[in-house]
Homo-oligomer: A and B are copies of this chain.
Amino acid sequence: MELAEYLRAHRERQLEELATFAAFPSVSALDEHRQDLLACAGWLEQHLAGLGLDNVQLLEAGGNPVAYGEWLGAGSDAPTILVYGHYDVQPADPFELWTTPPFTPTVRDGAMFARGISDNKGPIFAALAGIGSTLAAEGRLACNVKVIVEGEEELRSDRLDALIDRRRDLLAADLLVNTDGAFLAPGQPSVPVGLRGMVAIELTLTTAAGDLHSGLFGGVVPNALHALTQLLATLRAPDGRVLVDGFYDGVLPVPEAELAAWAALPLDDADIRAQAGVPALMGGPEPSTLERQWSQPTLDLNGVWGGFQGQGVKTVIPAQGHAKLSCRLVPGQRMDEVLARVITHLERHTRDGAQLRIVSTLEGTPPMVMPADHPAVTAARTALTAGFGREAVLCRLGVSVPVNEIVDRHLGIPAVQLASSSPTDAFHAPDEHFTLASFDAGVRTMAEFLPAYAAAHRG
């Protein structure tokens, strides 16, 4: 049977399976979803076996297990790829902003809506469908394939790190093929050759032993929320520039050729504004939006809270305020140095009368640059161009991808992104979705990638 014919015949079944996969509320950040994650992993194990993979198993990682499968029939001359995805998803709150419930996958307007459908259940499912469908239609693959689908990507893949270290033999490969992430524009396939890193901090500011009545004490005691907002207001200029001393130290300039290539990309500020759903982008003309998105570090408040949030009026002077913030890092920056500089800034700008406590810090992922001339990048461009019917371009990404750094460290192999999501898919936000066109193209792309990479690897 031809592959194209097979895909037509089995598309409805595959979309139903994707909906089943997306219906698991596999939220790794919330303890109450632990059983849902285990159930999702169990479903994946059966699914991998059903695709025709061998040696299928759940690798015990200490937390949520990693689903594994392999097909090694391409012979020892063919390269081995390690395909990566994750089945855990971000929390779905605020629930009231979803048009349909986040764990009731729903198809409308040519897309499937569900928490995690685009980050990353849809893309990894499509890549696996490309592998399984090729095996079913043609009886063989051009590369040896190993698959890992983990359940703690949204927690930073710490346990995957240890697992890959322990199972180097099982997971040995020539290349990581990472299905996570998104294209630079909707339907515009792109191969990133750089990723930003990430660090995070949570802090608490305390001004009194307990909350106080604003009638009794208003005007004479400090208010933790004034102290907090005044502290946090010092972190950024209105144009988004981070005001932490030395924050930009060491940032590597982007080569002129790469900057010129970015300027030629089919992506302007209006596109990015529309992707984000904002009335105006932040910052001035220099550096360009793409430079700020891909090659400049950032600092963002992710959460701020304190005092009374309920219905009505409560005239309290809050004694504590809290904030979570994170930074995206770029090549040339070290995680520990950035964390230290931000903490020093916070300490210096905490007002008299307020006590700063750093509740936690997280060294997430270091920034990375990938070799732009690697055979895998060439193969990815070829496959994406064929799969999506549009010339794939080179870019960088603003996001952090922990697993790329992990496999570099433990397996000594490079990574290539073979994404199929778009930046308009509402990652980490209400009404996350994955278009059916992306699904179809994602399946075709993986089917194209296997022979393309085998050829590039030989040649």
| Partner-B contacts on A (CB < 8 A) | 29-31, 90-91, 93, 97, 155-156, 182, 196, 198, 200, 207-223, 225-226, 228-230, 232-233, 235-236, 238, 240, 272, 275-283, 289, 292-293, 296-298, 300-318, 321-322, 324, 326, 328, 351-353, 362, 364, 397-400, 423, 426-431
Question: Please, how many angstroms separate the alpha-carbon atoms of A456 and B388 in the complex?
Answer: 93
| Given A229-B229, A316-B428, A326-B313, A215 contacting B399 (CB threshold 8 A) | yes
Q: How many of these chains are in the complex?
A: 2
Q: Name the contact of A214 in the complex, choosing from B223, B302, B313 (C-beta under 8 A).
A: B302
The answer to whether B429 and A210 touch across the interface, beta carbons within 8 angstroms, is yes
Main secondary structure of the interface of A (DSSP, over half): loop
Residue of A30, A232, A297 ringed by the most chain B CB atoms within 10 A: A232
- Contact A314/B210 with A216-B398, A220-B293, A282-B220 known, Cβ cut-off 8 Å: no
Q: Can you name 15 A-B pairs with beta carbons within 8 Å?
A: A29-B312, A196-B218, A209-B278, A217-B275, A218-B298, A218-B398, A219-B328, A222-B278, A228-B229, A228-B304, A301-B318, A303-B307, A303-B314, A304-B305, A314-B428
Whether A307 and B302, one on each chain, are in contact in the complex, defined by CB atoms closer than 8 angstroms, is yes
The residue among A29, A314, A431 with the most chain B CB atoms within 10 A of its own CB is A314
CA distance A397 to B213 in the complex (A): 12
Known interface pairs A302-B316, A308-B303, A428-B316; A226-B235 also in contact (CB < 8 Å): yes
Smallest CB–CB gap between A275 and chain B, Å? 8
Further 5 A-B residue pairs, CB within 8 A, beyond A215-B400, A220-B293, A307-B324: A220-B240, A300-B315, A313-B324, A314-B324, A316-B428
B225 touches A303 (CB 8 A): yes
Residues of chain B within 8 A of A230, CB atoms compared = 229, 233, 236, 238
A214 and B314 contact, CB distance less than 8 A? no
For the complex, give the distance between the alpha carbons of A279 and B31 in Å: 37
CB closest residue in chain B, given A217: B276
Contact of A300 among B91, B155, B218 (CB under 8 A): B218
**Leading 10 A-B pairs by shortest Cβ distance:** A215-B399, A209-B277, A303-B307, A233-B233, A225-B301, A218-B298, A229-B232, A303-B308, A219-B298, A219-B292
Q: Is the CB of A223 within 8 A of B300?
A: yes
A302 adjacent to B314 (CB under 8 Å): yes
Q: Check B214 against A328 for contact (C-beta < 8 Å).
A: yes
User: Which chain B residues border A312 with CB–CB below 8 Å?
Assistant: 29, 155
Question: Which of A97, A316, A427 has the most B CB atoms < 10 Å from its CB?
Answer: A316
Separation of A277 and B76 alpha carbons in the complex (Å): 73
Chain B residues near A90: list those with CB within 8 A. 314
Interface centre among A31, A307, A351, A364 (most CB of B within 10 A): A307
- B322:A309 contact, CB within 8 angstroms: yes
